[in-house]
Structure 1
Amino acid sequence: MKRFFSVIVGSELLNGRRVDKHFTFLLHALKKRGWTLEGNFVIKDDPALMHSVFSLLKSQPNTYIFSFGGIGATPDDCTREVVANVFRDGTLAPHPQAQALIHAQFGDHVTSHRLRMGELPKDVELLTNVVNQTPGFALDGRFFFMPGFPSMAWPMAKEALERYVGTNPVHTFTCNFLVETGESELIALMQALPKEVELSSLPHLRKDGAREVEIYLACKDQTLLFQSKTLFFNNLSNLGIPVTVLDD
């Protein structure tokens, strides 16, 4: 099973100068294709930290990484160098197609700093930049590196999803309902669920002080999900606990 992670690089996010929008975008883009996000890392522009995070994710089976930020030309943009060290042999070299795109975009205004953005790790495939043609890149059909600007990065992420990921062929069935009780009252029911059923429990405290719990169940087996939902509803009915079905 494919496992998806996002890495969002930018000290400006951690010091409050900017608010991240990539997480929500990727979450919905994956969900639209039947996938889920397993983890999200927001980290500063620190080569050692970035190396550790990318190495950790690379070591996981069936990992797909969507990385946003740090592929520009300023001194704090070190994603390309870190990626070369983690995923390749540590070298960056001018990528002919990337350099040609940069030349075509900037013409007489091309600079060595702009051309530096066309120095990439070995054996990458380019992702299209619909704003200024300076590309992002993909490695091994699983690791995708994009700028921090949403207008540039999000079309690249969609391109990567279409070219390399596709739609999940295994459908996941879900149900979502609100139970008017405290979370502790439901633990025995939660423990009785089959291990194949994914559970999420989100407690709320209403303005009137009443407790309630939002329950989310997911399973690839529709019959097993129905049985688990029925288990919940029958037990809650016997206890006289109100339950409301929510939209997914």
Structure 2
Amino acid sequence: DPCTNIKSTNKKMHNKANPLPVRSDPSTRPISRHHSGNYIVHRVKESLSTRVSKLICAIFLSLLLCLGIVFFILWISLRPHRPRFHIRGFSLPGLGRPDGYETSHISFKITAHNPNQNVGVYYDSMDGSVYYKEKKIGSTTKLAQPFYQDPKNTSLIEGDMRGPTMAVNKDRWMEMERDRNQGKVVLRLEVVSVIRFKVYTWHSKSHKMYVNCYIEVGWDGFLLNGTKDKRCPVYFT
């Protein structure tokens, strides 16, 4: 029918002229200039804060490393080293005489060296004893008067044991004679001292120090070359 066709055509044209509204995607909406500016400012502030934090951390770690190196160098330079002792001379006259024990006496010389660069040493007391097969045969108290030793300084200490300070009986003397006939007599000189360290104006607590010098004397009672100038072990208690 012509009338029906005309109505249908008009209806289609009306639909095309008035399409239904479609909701747009919110994410595709353009961002206003105001919001975009705030976002950029926020990112810039965040970036600056991160950089400042990293810079502060780097400076702190660098200072910590420098301080650690400085303290390590100070510790190395100011850490006290124990004194060094060497046996320089020793004699036991009369060793070849059967009755030598009646008038026996011992003389010895040792050196004490302070190896420290900036640390001094106070020797508050010093005693000495001589042992044969771990039996005391002589001793002396007040081997040296109290003294102070400067850094990088060496002191000579001399000792003499005779009379009541000797403790050699006939049997022990004969043992020593037998060793002498075999070529040498082995003895041990022990020095006991109470010392303190001084670093500028600071003084350490007292330390008890033991020095052991192992000695070999020949048929004439004098120190053999093998042990002369030998370094003596040192330990503390």
- Taking structure 1 as the reference length, the TM-score comes to 0.22
Q: Of Structure 1 and Structure 2, which has the larger fraction of its residues in strand? A: 2
- Name which structure has the greater RCO, CA cutoff 8 Å, separation 6+: 2
CA radius of gyration, larger in: 2
